[in-house]
């Protein structure tokens, strides 16, 4: 038996490759599926099943393409309805893969079709639980994404409580837990950076699995502090239910090199967003006016989904040389398939053409310290939990995720400053603000990491887990 976790940091997502005696099961695959096919070929094995823990909201799964390419059967849990051929498992239905079995455990709560998959080894012993978004390490799946009709988030939270206590917490402590996501995912509130755990460890450390926790306490704690989900979530659910274009065709249609003149013409004739994915330091030195920065070095795809929102939005790319296809692939992971071309030769092509460029002004924390007496306007674009944990007294919180909701707070003429934790998110925010006409925005270099070591007054630190 072989189990491989294939973790994608950009999405904070774990897919799984399971092989036994020449047969393979894939759980929650990414949209680009060739790696799974190559692994199976290397093992001289055949992909038999593609198990989906639920209809994912934060990424487009590879189940449809993988089934088309391999003939493997797509498996969803009870109540799932798809527009393509799939096996809708019954609760406790057993699937054989070589010398092992996988049992579907229906665990509604995060969504109604949510299902965990329990792997039993060659001896019939419970070995591992592929818990999807039902159980994370340190948290559980948010219960507000599948509200429909009369079913509320509190109803879903109640279903999740029952699922955890009747299907998950009854498993032996040594059963390994393989979740669908880790820290950085928007599918939960307090996910651990670890990506593999055990049932026993989660019983001891996960707030939602406290032994004497009542259903009412669970519902309150799980629903408390939930931020609105990113706008692209329901669009990805739709793709995962109904199907989507093959990623090979997406890349073929999107990877169109453009000269500076062609790029400018398309930008002027369409409503395309110019998306610059270079490193933030390179972007700040010079960029095409009206560009939006979201760098490949951070959690790129989720930020695209949260800030651009419409997966059908036309996009023109400025990428590092050689990263064009990779960028298109990463966009497609969250359903953004409408890239209409990229600037051939990257930003240097635009710069060398003599066309207009813009720059992002920045200030060091040391220089900002000298301006404190002037009472500068400072905006902290970190998440609310980060801000509440510790922040500069002079700073207001305008979280990047919901920047559009705070536009009215930014002054149109007076200089103001933005920062995040280290500098990635603040450049995203500044690029959006400049595109909106706020050319008086100044980035604080080093972000709060630098502010912490300065004389700028800060609130007392509060551990984020106690908030």
Query: What's the pTM?
Result: 0.92
Query: How far is it, in rounded angstroms, from Cα 421 to Cα 400?
Result: 12
Q: Beta 362-363 vs 339-343: how paired, if at all?
A: unpaired
HSE of 290, CA atoms in CB hemisphere, 13 A: 10
Q: What are the tokens at 424?
A: 């990635």
Strands (E), 141-217: 176-179, 197-198
pLDDT in tens, the chain (467 residues): 999 999 998 899 999 999 999 999 999 999 999 999 999 999 999 999 999 999 999 999 999 999 999 999 999 999 999 999 999 999 999 999 999 999 999 999 999 999 999 999 999 999 999 999 999 999 999 999 999 889 999 999 999 999 999 999 999 999 999 999 998 888 887 788 899 999 999 999 999 999 999 999 999 999 998 888 888 999 999 999 999 999 999 999 999 999 999 999 999 999 999 999 999 999 999 999 999 999 998 889 999 999 998 999 999 999 999 999 999 999 999 999 999 999 999 999 999 999 999 999 999 999 999 999 999 999 999 999 899 999 999 999 999 999 988 999 999 999 999 999 999 999 999 999 999 999 999 999 999 999 999 999 999 998 766 55
Query: Is residue 164 a contact partner of residue 139, using CB atoms and an 8 Å limit?
Result: no
Return the closest-CA partner of residue 153 out of 77, 79, 222: 222
- Helices 300-308 and 424-435 cross at an angle (nearest 10°) of 30
Length, in residues, of the chain: 467
Q: What are the tokens at 143?
A: 């219960």
Query: How far is it, in rounded angstroms, from Cα 439 to Cα 426?
Result: 14
Based on its alpha-carbon atoms, the radius of gyration of the chain, rounded to whole angstroms, reads 24
Query: Is residue 91 a contact partner of residue 82, using CB atoms and an 8 Å limit?
Result: no
State the DSSP code for 460: P
Query: How far is it, in rounded angstroms, from Cα 300 to Cα 404?
Result: 19
Query: How far is it, in rounded angstroms, from Cα 245 to Cα 243?
Result: 7
Three-class DSSP category at 402: helix
Q: What angle do CA 153, 226, 176 make, to 5 degrees?
A: 85
Output the furthest CA–CA distance in the chain (Å, rounded): 72
3-class SS shares of the chain: helix, strand, coil, % to 5: 35, 20, 45
């Amino acid at each position: 038996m072989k189990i491989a976790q294939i973790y994608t940091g950009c999405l904070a997502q774990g897919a799984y490759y399971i092989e036994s005696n020449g047969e393979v099961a894939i759980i929650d695959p990414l949209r680009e599926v060739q790696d799974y096919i190559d692994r199976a070929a290397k093992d001289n094995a055949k992909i038999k099943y593609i198990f989906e823990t639920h209809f994912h909201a934060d990424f487009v799964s590879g189940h449809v393409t993988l089934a088309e390419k391999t003939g493997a059967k797509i498996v969803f849990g009870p109540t799932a309805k798809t527009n393509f051929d799939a096996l809708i498992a019954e609760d406790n239905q057993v699937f054989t893969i070589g010398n092992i079995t996988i049992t579907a455990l229906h665990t509604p709560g995060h969504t109604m079709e949510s299902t965990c998959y329990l792997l039993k080894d060659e001896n019939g012993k419970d070995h591992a639980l592929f818990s999807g978004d039902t159980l994370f390490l340190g948290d559980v799946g948010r219960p507000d994404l599948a509200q429909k009709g009369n079913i509320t988030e509190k109803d879903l939270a109640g279903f999740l409580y029952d699922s955890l206590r009747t299907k998950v917490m009854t498993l032996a402590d040594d059963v390994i837990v393989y979740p669908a996501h880790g820290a950085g995912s928007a599918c939960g509130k307090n996910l651990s950076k670890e990506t593999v755990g055990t049932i026993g460890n989660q019983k001891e450390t996960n707030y939602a699995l406290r032994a004497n926790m009542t259903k009412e306490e669970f519902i309150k704690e799980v629903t408390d502090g939930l931020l609105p989900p990113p706008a692209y979530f329901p669009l990805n659910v739709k793709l995962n239910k109904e199907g989507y274009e093959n990623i090979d065709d997406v890349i073929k249609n999107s990877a169109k090199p453009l000269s500076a003149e062609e790029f400018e013409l398309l930008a002027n004739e369409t409503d395309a967003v110019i998306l610059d994915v270079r490193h933030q330091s390179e972007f700040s030195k010079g960029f095409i006016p009206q560009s939006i920065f979201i760098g490949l070095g951070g959690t790129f795809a989720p930020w695209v989904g949260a800030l651009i929102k419409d997966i059908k939005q036309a996009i023109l790319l400025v990428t590092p040389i050689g990263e064009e296809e990779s960028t298109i692939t990463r966009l497609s992971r969250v359903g953004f398939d409408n890239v209409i071309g990229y600037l051939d030769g990257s930003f240097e092509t635009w710069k060398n053409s003599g066309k207009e460029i813009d720059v992002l002004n920045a200030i060091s924390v040391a220089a900002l310290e000298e301006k404190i007496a002037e009472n500068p306007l400072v905006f902290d674009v970190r998440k609310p939990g980060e801000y509440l944990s510790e922040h500069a007294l002079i700073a207001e919180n305008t979280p990047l995720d919901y920047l559009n909701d705070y536009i009215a707070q930014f002054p149109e003429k007076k200089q103001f400053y933005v920062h995040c934790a280290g500098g990635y998110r603040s450049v995203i925010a500044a690029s959006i603000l400049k595109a909106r006409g706020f050319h008086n925005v100044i980035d604080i270099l080093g972000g709060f990491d630098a502010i912490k070591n300065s004389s700028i007054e800060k609130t007392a630190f509060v551990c984020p887990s106690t908030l």
